[in-house]
Amino acid sequence: MNEKTVIMGVGNWLLSDDGVGVHAAQALALDPPPGAEVVDAGTDALSALPFFEQADRVLIIDAVRAGGAPGTIRQLAESELAAQHGLGTIHAVNLLVSRHLMSPGAVWPEVRILGVEPAVLDYGMELSPAVAAALPQVIRLSREIAETWKT
């Protein structure tokens, strides 16, 4: 069986660290992990749904406010995101909540979230120094997760 993996970067690249998922997706798209499709979904949850419908596994990369130091990376299962109150990730939650809009009979994939604690959520297209420093690790972890999903 050949399972499909999607790595989806979400966020608003016009709001500094809120765009970390978009920055990660753009970097990963230059050299996608073998067997994975990389998608820059931005803030458009509805346009992202077809990728969920076609995937067996989806890794969402997003800014996640969890009270940690800026640049801290967290890996969360979908169930953990729903269970942990106080986690701020508007984009990933919008995607997860929109599952009821999928085509009838579509199967929801396994979802994991790779979240990065933001430092700055203000107008600007550059990542803060702390989040920019975390970006290479986000890309490495994304590749590792895609690799483990292949086995």
Q: Give the CATH number of the domain where residue 119 resides.
A: 3.40.50.1450
Q: Give phi and psi for 104, each to the nearest 5.
A: -55, 135
Residue range 20-30: average pLDDT? 97
Beta strands in the chain (DSSP E): 5-10, 36-42, 57-63, 73-77, 110-116
Place of tokens 């077809």: 50
pLDDT at 98 over 80: no
For the ranges 81-85, 112-116, 119-123, 138-142, which has the lowest average pLDDT?
81-85
Averaged pLDDT of the chain: 88
Report how far residue 66's alpha carbon sits from residue 127's, in angstroms, rounded to the nearest whole number: 18
pLDDT at 30: 97
Q: How many domains does the chain have?
A: 1
- pTM for the complete prediction? 0.90
pLDDT band at 65 (very low <50, low <70, confident <90, very high): confident
| Closest CA relative to residue 146, chosen from 115, 96, 93, 110 | 110
pLDDT at 125: 94
User: Domain range spanning residue 89?
Assistant: 5-150
pLDDT band at 24 (very low <50, low <70, confident <90, very high): very high
Residue range 97-117: average pLDDT? 85
**How many CB atoms neighbour CB 30 within 10 A?**
8
Please give the structure tokens belonging to residue 110.
Answer: 């396994």
Report how far residue 120's alpha carbon sits from residue 129's, in angstroms, rounded to the nearest whole number: 10
